[in-house]
A and B are shown apart, each in its own frame.
Chain A
Amino acid sequence: MTGSALHVHDLTVALGGRPVVRRVDLTVRTGEFVTVLGGNGSGKSTLVRAALGLVPATSGEVELLGSPLPRFRDWHRVGYVPQRTSAASGVPATVREVVTSGRLAHRRLLRRLARRDHAAVDAALDAVDLSDRAGDSVAELSGGQQQRVLIARALVTDPDLLVLDEPTAGVDLPHQNLLSEVLESHSARGVAIVLVAHELGPLDRLVDRAVVLRDGRVVFDGSPGDATTTAAPHHHAHGDGTPGGDVLGPGWADRP
C-alpha cells in the first residue's frame, strides 16, 4: 500500500498468552495526525509497540513507510517517544548526550558526529526549549523536562513517522502548548504522527483522526469530534468497572 506511513492489517498481539490487541486494522496516511485513545489496559500502547516491532505480533501484518516490518530498514525515518517516567539510567548522562543518541540511525559505525548531526541536535533541543539545559544531567531535571528530552530524542532523527506514547504525562500546560506547536510544524511538513494518549489537552486541535481502543479492539475510527458521542455511550453501556477506565479521559468528557 503506497502513501501510507503506517499500515496495520488484522493485527493480533498476545502478551503472556493473553490477547491484548485483537484483529486491529489501522492505516495512517503520509502527513496524517492520528491519535490512539483508550483507557488503561485497552491495548493502545501494545498496538504501537507491535507496529514498531518491539513486541511480536501473534498474527497480522504491519507496513512501515511502505515496507513490510520484517524488511523495514529505514529506521532513521521513524521517531519514537516511549512511555517513560524518566529519561535517566544508572549513570549520569547529559541532556545533549541523550538527545544525540536519537541520531544513531543516521550514523555509521565508528564515525564521529557530522556537522549536520550537531545541527539536528541543536534544533531538537531548541524545539523543546531545553537548549540552556543541554549540559545538565537528565537526572537533575524535573519529570516534565525529562519527558521533553525524550521528545527531542525522537525529533532529532528528522522523522517521516513520529510515534509518541503518552508524551505529555507530567508536562505542564505551557510546555504542552509548546509541544503542540512543535507537532503542528512537523505535521505541516508532511510528517505522519501517531499519538497515544488518554487525554489530549492542547493537542486536541491538531488531530485529524481519532482511533479509540477498548479491550484490544477498535471501537471508533473517525473524526475526533465524533469520538465523544460515539464511543462514550459505548463505554457506559459496557462499563468494565476498572478504575480510570474512562475511554476518552477527562479532557474529552469536559468538552463543551
Chain B
Amino acid sequence: MTATDALARLGESPSDGRSRSAKALRDGSRVAVIGAGPAGSMFSYFLLNMAQSVGLELDVDLYEPRHFCHRGPAGCNHCGGVVSESLVQRLATEGIALPDDVVQRGLESYTLHMDVGDVEIATPLHESRIAAIYRGNGPRDSEPLETHSFDGYLQHLARERGARPVRRLVTALHHETDSIRVDCADGSSTAYELVAIATGVNSQLIKSLGELGEDHDQPGLTKTFICEFRLGKEVIRETLGPSMHVFLLDIPRLEFAALIPKGDYATLCLLGDDIDDELMDLFFSSPEVARCFPGGTIPRHVCHCYPRINVRTTRPPFGDRVVMVGDSGTTRLYKDGIGAAYRTAKAAARTVVFHGVSADDFREHYWPLCSKIDADNRVGKFVFGVGSLVQRARFARRGVLRMTAGEQKRSGGPRRMSGVLWDLFSGSAPYTDVFLRTLHPGYVGSLVWNLLAANLPVRSEPTIPRGQEVRREH
C-alpha cells in the first residue's frame, strides 16, 4: 500500500474510531443477549460501556427466564462457584469490586490432600484473593441467606448500564434479511441485528443452532458432579478454614476434586471423564476425603447436580450477526470458566462495537482469543495427563509433597512446585505458562532431588515437618 493509499484509507475511517464493516451496528440497533449468566451479563455490560464511549446508542435485551434470587436449582447456574485470583484482580482493575454479600468466603490457600500426606499452599501475601460464590442464591432448602447471587449481581451491573431484562425462555433463532428473529416459549418473536448466545452448554437452545442455517460443530461435553454439604460456619472455620481443599487421589477418570468452603455450606466438585456412581463411591470411601469432615463422617448432601461442561470449543463460535460467548463458545479446560466468560464476553463486545457483526468480523477479531484458549486447553490436557500419572504413582506423590512442603516452610527462595500447583488448581495462569515452568532446570532438578529424598528407604529426620504447612503425614 502506498502512502497515498494509506492517507486515502485514513480519510475513509469514521471519526468515532470504529472501523468499517459491511455489517456494523448503528444508533438504535437492537441486540439480544440470550442468557444472563456471567458471559451474557458481562457481554451486555461491556457492550454498553464501549458503545457509550464511542457515542453509539444500542438497545440491549437480556433474556433470562430464571430469577437468581431463588435458592436451589431454580436460581442456580450449576457450577462450583469460584472466582479465580486473576479474575478477582481483573474485575477490581475494571472498577468492579465484588460486594461482601456476594462473596460467600474469601479463600487464601489451597490444601492438597494425598494418601501420602497433606500440604497447604498459601498465597505469598497471605491475602484472600479467591472468591467462593453462589451462582444462584444458595443450595436447595437452605435458610434465607444474607447474601446474594454472583450471577444476580452481574445482571444488576448490566441493568445499570442500560440492558433491559426480558423474563422469557428463548426457543429458536431464525435468520432473516439483515436480522435474526428470536422466538420465545410464550409465542412472542422479535428481530435483532445481533444475537449473543450465552446460554452455557446445559441448554436446549445450543442444540438448535442448526436452524440458523450455519454449520456449527457442537461443543464437546463431559458430565461433572457438584453437591453441597451443610456444615455450619463454625465447623467450616475449624475444619476447612479459608482454604480450598483439593484431592490428588488414585481414582481412575478423576481429573480434579475440590471442596470449597462457603458460609454455612461446603461445595464439592468432581471433574473428570464422565463422573458416574462407581467413581463417586471410590471418592467418598477415601479416608483423605472423610478426614476433611467433622468426626471423619461425610454427611448427606443437601443439593446436587450433574452439569455438563464444555471441553471442546464450538467451531466456529460465531456466524453472521451471531456470537457465542462463555461456555456456549469456548472455555478453559476444567478451570476458571467464569474467567473465560469474562474474556470472551469482552472480546466479543469489542468486536461488535469497534469492528462489526459479520462472520468475517468475528473471525478476524473474536476468533483469535477463542483459538488461543483452545490451544492452551490442548496443553492443559497434557498437563492434566501428567497429573494423572502422579495420581497413579505413589513415589511421585511423595516427591511432590516433599518439594511443596519444603517450599512452604521456607520464607524465601523460589516456590516452583507451589506455583505450578497453585496455578493448576486455581486456573490463574494459562496451562502453557504452567507447562513451560515445569521445564525450568531449577524445577526439574528440585523435583528429581525430592523424588529421590522422599523415596529413600531410610530417612534420618522427618523431611516434612508437622505444623501449619503439613497437617498430616502417614
- Do the two chains bind? no
Task: Name A residues whose Cβ lies closer than 8 Å to a Cβ of B.
Answer: none
